[in-house]
Chains A and B, each alone.
Chain A
Amino acid sequence: MSIPTTCGRVLFRSIATLLLCGVVACNSEFDPASLIASPRVLGAKIEVGGDPARSQPLPGETAEMTWLAVSNDPEQTWMWLLSACSSVTSVTGDSFCLQAPFATSLQGAPTQAPPSITLNVPATEQALAGSLEVWVTGIICTDGIPTQNGELLECDGGTHPGTTVTFTLDLVLDPAVANLNPSMDDWAFQLDGETWDASTPTSTTGCAGTTGPSLPAVTAGTLETTVTFQSTTEDHETYPVGTTATEEELLLVSHFSTAGEFERQFTDIARNETAEVTWVPPIQASVDGDTTRYFFVVRDQRGGLAWTQRTTCTVQP
């Protein structure tokens, strides 16, 4: 019978996965995924109108979807074209619109405001084509005009190709079972054992000068710095699985920096757990010091999201 054949293919793929994960990837010449070397999109947050903690709207509700777009330049401007439609996803993960988009957001002129789209979710089952799934897709540009040619989305005339994005949102019929966004406002961050509060810099250099902001300093060329963070208990929601069981959310934190290198991009964090990740400072720094920005994005892996930002000043040894 062909069962052994299937086994063989699974075996081959598992070996290939191991090779790629454990051996090949270690020798890659790429920038780490956690390094923000060019404009990036790091996530999208949905806040239901009137109940911003909720990430899942009901049919007929309005929700605001905001995209976390970042770059090395604190004054980076954005343009975007986003649309949302009632959709269905195939078993292989491809999404298809069942009807014409019910919401569209086109920002054709540069703005420092984050990309966003207002989702006026249709109220009726007919208007939703019988589906409780919403597919949001589009493109976020920095210097090109977002355009759509057939199925092709592009940043027309730009030097940066932009980022095509996708997000699938599950609607709920009962607000009591809707997922809530986590919040990082009360998370405890530490940098090498010292409290590390949120801050928003306005420039990328000059942080070491007397007129600059007071930022935690890290020394260029040192081995590594340890970052720890702890979630709040209420961020780990309990949700039903099947008809009788429940599970608690395991939060997934993505961490990024505009310089240096995190040891990895993702960290799991469970309730009452302190997560730790190391960050290696850049080799060099300017005389006046260089500002490094850090972005921490947490996902509850059910559509809820939050983010926060930290800053350090990398100084010369």
Chain B
Amino acid sequence: MFPTRTTVTKPSLLGALFFSALVAVMAVATSVLAQGAPPDESAPVVTPPELLEFAQAPYPPEAEAQAIAATIELGITIGVDGLVEDAIVLTPAEGQAVGLGFEQAAVEAAKRFVFTPATRDGEAIASRIRYRYVFELSPPSTDETERAAEDPPPPPMGQLQGTVLGAEKDKPLAGAEVILTNEQESVALRAQTDEKGGFFFGELAPDTYRLTITLPEYDASNTEEQVVDGEITEVTYRLAVTREPVSFGAVATIDPPPREVVRRTITREELTRVPGTRGDALRTIELLPGVARPPFGTGQIIVRGSAPGDSQVFIDGTPVALLYHFGGITSIMNSRVIDQIDFFPGNFSARYGRKMGGVIDVTTKPPADDALHGVADINIIDSSFMVETPVGEYGSISAAARRSYIDFFFENLVPSDAFNVVAAPVYYDYQVFSNWKASPRDRIQVNAYGSNDKFALIFSEPQDGDPNIRGDLELTTGFTKFFTKWNRQISNDLDQDIQLAVGTSKFDFALGEDLRFSGDFVDIDFRSEWRARLTPRVRLIGGLDVSVVPFDITFRGPQPGQSEGTADDDNRISTVPIVETVVDDVAVRPAGYLEVDLLPLDPWRLVLGMRTDYYREIRSWSVDPRLVSIWSVRDDLRIKAGVGLFSQPPEFNESDKTIGTPDLTAIRSLHSNLGVEYDADEGVTLGIEGFHKGIWDRVVSNPDEVTGGPLYVNEGLGRIYGLEVSGRVTPAGRRWFGFLSYTLSRSERKDQSTDDWRLFDYDQTHIMNASALYLLGRGWEAGATFRLATGNPLTPIISGLYNANSDVYEPIYGAVNSDRNDYFHRVDVRVEKKWTFEAWKLALYLDVQNVYNRMNPEGTLYNYDFSNSQTIGGLPMIPSLGLRGEI
């Protein structure tokens, strides 16, 4: 038993503070000794950390104005010096308190706590505890204040009040017997905990008291508490269920340490409130430094000058095929089930592989285990809901779904003579998540989620410009995934995660007879990871990452060119030969990784990683060493550097034996980064970072193909370099939050050794994003996002060649990417009004994209013979009005 303590004087903020996991086990140990069990002399003697200095968190202004209380459960990592190394939110605010900034305030305060370190056999060790930070307002009434002014000073007495909880579920324990005695045993008081586990002893003389708490089936607790004159001493205890045999030891979750030079995290508070995203959490990624703007608002992720296909999105560590409905309308996962998004723009951990761009890891939120909660959202494009509830004592479950209703008004938007609508666009997605705390050391997640998009049209006649564009146009994408993860704390210093995701995905696209792509995949992703702490200064992480994908693909269409820089995006199919391939195969890609996290010197962290991948389809291995160094110059200033190798297999069409070249090797990239991160103020972080990526063995079309050479060769090169500047203000204790990011970069490619360097398809020299949201009070909040980016490169068409076979002009291109679109800039705004009722909340929001209706150039449209052209404009002003209810 290890109580946390805060001493407050009325009236003021009350902080009820809890320790749990480690604390609970310590309670076990203490109670065992108290019950007279023979101590296990072979077991190490572990003492828990003790809070020496408590830091007061500022009360979030909007919450204070509305008198909303909250409880935030934190996981705090305490170093051997007793200082807090890290604090994360384990259980965020719930109900009315969601989104008001409690979490960040609690985290920032906890980082200023000071402890006595935990010890093992007298030696200080790092440890991790659970801590419950309670925000509660008790403002004095006018009468009380006046009375206080008139009343005589209070007697020299103190008070002791506390709460008794179950260690595993934080369930209040009613009926526990609490006995309080002083050192001289001249005082002996007895109380019983109420339904909320609370007890109270008033009018206590300042002294040190022994507190004994007992409850059948729970281990007893014996502690000493200090009661101070004129103050209320608040304590919280967690009793562990008596287990046989009882082991002695600290349970410490060994989280993987930060291993990336750059890791940008978007928290749940920010995810759904960024202007211009329509509340879509994943769209906030586009505002982060190093992320280029995709054309037409599509959801392509373009990270630090890498192609969209070079980056990967993971959901709970499992790769997902598609991130957005219809390529960019909205993401396939309800934002309310997302806990946080981690974005690694380069030099990422050895845990991730098969990609050489960036990594986005979406962590889903464990379903709430305290009570029923729900959110329903209705806007002009789709409707969604999410409910979550505890199930039994140790489980919880959530379910969410969304469906679009574009189909209801599609026929009124599309010109009736353009095509006949067979199936109007419709998309839906669903998620079911469950969480089960099987034991204090075991946590099991079972999730299922999926998505489906479909539409079909018929072009009643051949289209001008290309008579082969006719007939049916169908697009169907969908996937279903079942995911299970078992996390076990094998020992104090060893954790294990085992996860398996099995699902199916489908992709069908057809445009007439000559363009068809149909793919059915069974996606099997297995990952097992072990995290061990060898010494306080050495941690080891090892894992297996296996992807097995039986697939069946049919392709008919023009021969695919190289994936980038081909200048063949005019989508004409009548002037090129049609190729066809049917592939029925199994892609097997096993990988192993190992990462060592060293603390050679106190402020210096060194992470050495190694990943080995095998790609069955090209029968090729890759070995990628990686190194990251983090030097904490001061508590608020860190210098980070990294260098690492990254490998990526060719696209399936590039290595297919019919329409590709099976003898290709993996594409390689060397990432180098150097940056500085500075915590300017509480919740205010500034950063600057330079980066360089070298790419070789790029898969490019072979100019000698026509004379019998292979279709593709690994002869392309790439180089990317740039500078990122970022500023971020989190919602912690303030009325606003925001991002500011600027990226200066250049991304170039060389397709043949004799070629000159040219611009990459999505090179954007300047990218600037600024976004802020302000809490106006009375439930109002408003914000804006400004985006500015250099226009994407484009390849000019200098003339047309009349093809008499098909009566179509073929474009004759100028130098690849030798021209550019004009600058892109746009302002999005978001206004929300929230009404808070006793049991639920209602919000009305307006999210307007491109408020000044800027016609941003996205490309060039040519006439039939390419003698005239006009600029293709991007998305116009798009208002989105929505209504959201929460319980």
Instruction: Name the one of B300, B418, B561 contacting A21, with C-beta atoms under 8 angstroms.
Output: B418
Given contacts A67-B804, A91-B559, contact A33 B465 (CB under 8 A): yes
The reply to whether the CB of B79 lies closer than 8 angstroms to some CB of chain A is no
The reply to whether the CB of A84 lies closer than 8 angstroms to some CB of chain B is no
Instruction: Name the one of B470, B571, B865 contacting A16, with C-beta atoms under 8 angstroms.
Output: B571
Cα A161 to Cα B419 with chains together (Å): 35
Given contacts A4-B321, A22-B418, contact A163 B802 (CB under 8 A): yes
- Of residues 241 through 277 on chain A, the ones whose CB sits less than 8 Å from some CB of chain B are 252, 254, 263-268
Which partner residue on chain A sits nearest B547 by CB separation?
A1
Q: Contact between B575 and A93 (Cβ–Cβ < 8 Å)?
A: yes
- Of residues 7 through 27 on chain A, the ones whose CB sits less than 8 Å from some CB of chain B are 7-22, 24-26
Q: Which residues of B are found within 8 Å of A88, using beta-carbon distances? A: 706
B636-663 toward A: CB 8 Å interface, digit per residue (1/0)?
Answer: 0000000000001111110000000000
Cα A16 to Cα B464 with chains together (Å): 16
Q: Contact between A94 and B861 (Cβ–Cβ < 8 Å)?
A: no
Which partner residue on chain A sits nearest B463 by CB separation?
A21
In the assembled complex, the CB of A39 is this many whole angstroms from the nearest CB of chain B, namely 11
Instruction: Name the one of A16, A30, A90, A303 contacting B870, with C-beta atoms under 8 angstroms.
Output: A30
The reply to whether the CB of B176 lies closer than 8 angstroms to some CB of chain A is no
Q: Which residues of A are found within 8 Å of B872, using beta-carbon distances? A: 20, 24
Q: Contact between B509 and A167 (Cβ–Cβ < 8 Å)?
A: no
Q: Contact between B327 and A12 (Cβ–Cβ < 8 Å)?
A: yes
The reply to whether the CB of A159 lies closer than 8 angstroms to some CB of chain B is no
Most buried by B among A29, A30, A41: A30
Which 6 pairs of residues, A with B, have the shortest CB-CB distance? A5-B309, A93-B576, A33-B864, A4-B321, A266-B462, A30-B863
B670-684 toward A: CB 8 Å interface, digit per residue (1/0)?
Answer: 000000000000000
Which partner residue on chain A sits nearest B617 by CB separation?
A1
Q: Contact between B462 and A267 (Cβ–Cβ < 8 Å)?
A: yes
- Of residues 151 through 182 on chain A, the ones whose CB sits less than 8 Å from some CB of chain B are 161, 163-168
Given contacts A13-B569, A88-B706, contact A3 B551 (CB under 8 A): yes
Q: Contact between B473 and A18 (Cβ–Cβ < 8 Å)?
A: yes
Cα A284 to Cα B810 with chains together (Å): 34
Given contacts A14-B509, A15-B298, A264-B461, contact A7 B706 (CB under 8 A): no
The reply to whether the CB of A126 lies closer than 8 angstroms to some CB of chain B is no
Q: Contact between B649 and A1 (Cβ–Cβ < 8 Å)?
A: yes
Q: Contact between A161 and B577 (Cβ–Cβ < 8 Å)?
A: no
Which partner residue on chain B sits nearest A278 by CB separation?
B417
Which partner residue on chain A sits nearest B867 by CB separation?
A161
Given pairs A5-B308, A7-B322, 10 additional interface contacts (CB within 8 A): A2-B648, A2-B650, A3-B521, A3-B549, A3-B553, A14-B509, A16-B569, A266-B462, A267-B462, A268-B470
The reply to whether the CB of B803 lies closer than 8 angstroms to some CB of chain A is yes
Q: Contact between A93 and B519 (Cβ–Cβ < 8 Å)?
A: no
The reply to whether the CB of B491 lies closer than 8 angstroms to some CB of chain A is no
Given contacts A18-B473, A93-B576, contact A12 B804 (CB under 8 A): no
Most buried by B among A10, A20, A297, A299: A10
Q: Which residues of B are found within 8 Å of A90, using beta-carbon distances? A: 705-706
In the assembled complex, the CB of B452 is this many whole angstroms from the nearest CB of chain A, namely 14
Q: Which residues of B are found within 8 Å of A161, using beta-carbon distances? A: 799, 867
Q: Contact between A303 and B576 (Cβ–Cβ < 8 Å)?
A: no
Cα A17 to Cα B800 with chains together (Å): 20
Cα A29 to Cα B869 with chains together (Å): 9
- Of residues 761 through 813 on chain B, the ones whose CB sits less than 8 Å from some CB of chain A are 799-807, 810, 812
The interface on chain B, measured as residues whose beta carbon lies within 8 A of the other chain's beta carbons, has a size of 85
- Of residues 803 through 850 on chain B, the ones whose CB sits less than 8 Å from some CB of chain A are 803-807, 810, 812
Q: Contact between A94 and B804 (Cβ–Cβ < 8 Å)?
A: no
Task: Enumerate 29 A-B pairs (CB-CB under 8 Å) in ascending A order.
Answer: A2-B649, A3-B519, A5-B651, A6-B309, A7-B477, A15-B296, A15-B298, A15-B326, A16-B296, A16-B569, A17-B571, A20-B861, A21-B469, A22-B415, A26-B415, A32-B464, A33-B464, A33-B465, A34-B464, A88-B706, A90-B706, A91-B579, A92-B559, A165-B801, A165-B804, A265-B464, A265-B465, A265-B807, A299-B805
Q: Contact between B298 and A7 (Cβ–Cβ < 8 Å)?
A: no
Which partner residue on chain A sits nearest B615 by CB separation?
A1
Q: Which residues of B are found within 8 Å of A301, using beta-carbon distances? A: 806
Q: Which residues of A are found within 8 Å of B184, using beta-carbon distances? A: none
Q: Which residues of A are found within 8 Å of B868, using beta-carbon distances? A: 30
Q: Which residues of B are found within 8 Å of A163, using beta-carbon distances? A: 802, 865
Cα A265 to Cα B464 with chains together (Å): 5
Q: Contact between A268 and B462 (Cβ–Cβ < 8 Å)?
A: yes
Cα A166 to Cα B569 with chains together (Å): 21
Q: Which residues of A are found within 8 Å of B326, using beta-carbon distances? A: 11, 15
Most buried by B among A5, A28, A166: A5
The reply to whether the CB of A42 lies closer than 8 angstroms to some CB of chain B is yes
Q: Contact between B649 and A91 (Cβ–Cβ < 8 Å)?
A: no
A282-294 toward B: CB 8 Å interface, digit per residue (1/0)?
Answer: 0000000000000
Q: Which residues of B are found within 8 Å of A67, using beta-carbon distances? A: 804
The reply to whether the CB of A99 lies closer than 8 angstroms to some CB of chain B is no
B352-371 toward A: CB 8 Å interface, digit per residue (1/0)?
Answer: 00100000000000000000
Cα A165 to Cα B799 with chains together (Å): 12
The reply to whether the CB of A31 lies closer than 8 angstroms to some CB of chain B is yes
The reply to whether the CB of B467 lies closer than 8 angstroms to some CB of chain A is yes
Q: Contact between B511 and A299 (Cβ–Cβ < 8 Å)?
A: no
Cα A206 to Cα B649 with chains together (Å): 69
Q: Contact between B461 and A29 (Cβ–Cβ < 8 Å)?
A: no
In the assembled complex, the CB of A138 is this many whole angstroms from the nearest CB of chain B, namely 10
Given contacts A14-B511, A26-B418, contact A3 B587 (CB under 8 A): yes
Q: Which residues of B are found within 8 Å of A165, using beta-carbon distances? A: 801-804
A224-251 toward B: CB 8 Å interface, digit per residue (1/0)?
Answer: 0000000000000000000000000000
